[in-house]
Structure 1
Amino acid sequence: MRNTRLLIAVVSAAMLLTTTATAASAAPRIHHYVALGDSYTSGPFIPVQQTDPLGCGRSTANYPSVLSDALNVGDFTDVSCGGADTTNMTRPQQVPFNGTNPPQLGALRITTDLVTLGIGGNDFGVFGSIVSTCPGLRASDPTGSPCEEHFTTNGVDTIQTALTKTGERVEAVLAAIHERSPAARVLVVGYPRIAPDSGYCPDVLPFADGDYAWLNNVERELNQALEDAVDADGNATFVDTFGPSRGHDACARGGSAWINGKDQNVFVAAAYHPLKAGMAGVAAVVLKSVR
Structure 2
Amino acid sequence: MRATKLRWVLSALLAVPAVTVGLAQPASAASAGERYVALGDSYSSGVGAGSYLSDSGSCQRSSKAYPSLWAAANAPASFSFTACSGATTGTVKSGQLAPLNSSTTLVSVTAGGNDVGFADVMQTCVLQSEATCVNAVNNAIAQVNGTLPGSLSSLYSTIRSRAPQARVVVLGYPRFYQLNGNCVVGLSETERAAINRGSDALNAMLAKQAANAGFAYSSVVDEFTGHEICSGNAWIHSVTVPVSNSYHPTATGHSGGYLPAFRSVA
What range is the shorter-chain TM-score in?
0.7 to 0.9
> What code does the residue aligned with 1:247 have?
G
- Shift in Å at residue 105 of structure 1? 1.1
Q: Report the CA distance shift for 1:30/1:208 in structure 2 as closer, same or farther (over 3 A).
A: farther
1:86-97 map, 5 Å: 86-91=89-94
Q: Report the CA distance shift for 1:30/1:117 in structure 2 as closer, same or farther (over 3 A).
A: farther
Other-structure match for 2:101: 109
Q: Which runs of 5+ in 1 are unaligned?
A: 1-23, 92-102
Other-structure match for 1:133: 124
- Shift in Å at residue 106 of structure 1? 1.3
Other-structure match for 1:263: 240
Between the two structures, name the one with larger relative contact order (CA 8 Å, sep ≥ 6): 2
Q: Of 179, 184, 190, which aligns to 1:210? A: 190
In the alignment, the residues of structure 1 paired with residue 69 and residue 103 of structure 2 have an alpha-carbon distance, to the nearest angstrom, of 22
Other-structure match for 2:51: 48
In the alignment, the residues of structure 2 paired with residue 159 and residue 214 of structure 1 have an alpha-carbon distance, to the nearest angstrom, of 11
In the alignment, the residues of structure 2 paired with residue 151 and residue 284 of structure 1 have an alpha-carbon distance, to the nearest angstrom, of 32
Other-structure match for 1:277: 252
Q: Of 141, 155, 160, which aligns to 1:160? A: 141
In the alignment, the residues of structure 2 paired with residue 207 and residue 88 of structure 1 have an alpha-carbon distance, to the nearest angstrom, of 32
Q: Which runs of 5+ in 2 are unaligned?
A: 1-26
Alpha-carbon RMSD: 2.1
Q: Of 172, 183, 191, which aligns to 2:173? A: 191
Note if contact 2:174-2:224 (Cα within 8 Å) is conserved in structure 1.
yes
1:244 aligns with 2:223: yes
In the alignment, the residues of structure 1 paired with residue 188 and residue 179 of structure 2 have an alpha-carbon distance, to the nearest angstrom, of 14
Structure 1 length as normaliser, TM-score? 0.76
Structure 2 length as normaliser, TM-score? 0.83
In the alignment, the residues of structure 1 paired with residue 222 and residue 69 of structure 2 have an alpha-carbon distance, to the nearest angstrom, of 20
Q: Give the length in aligned residue pairs.
A: 238
Q: Report the CA distance shift for 1:30/1:239 in structure 2 as closer, same or farther (over 3 A).
A: farther
In the alignment, the residues of structure 2 paired with residue 53 and residue 69 of structure 1 have an alpha-carbon distance, to the nearest angstrom, of 18
Q: Report the CA distance shift for 1:27/1:208 in structure 2 as closer, same or farther (over 3 A).
A: closer
Note if contact 2:182-2:231 (Cα within 8 Å) is conserved in structure 1.
no
Moved more, 44-53 or 32-41: 44-53
Q: Report the CA distance shift for 1:172/1:200 in structure 2 as closer, same or farther (over 3 A).
A: farther
SS at match of 2:264: helix
In the alignment, the residues of structure 1 paired with residue 74 and residue 188 of structure 2 have an alpha-carbon distance, to the nearest angstrom, of 42
Other-structure match for 1:173: 155
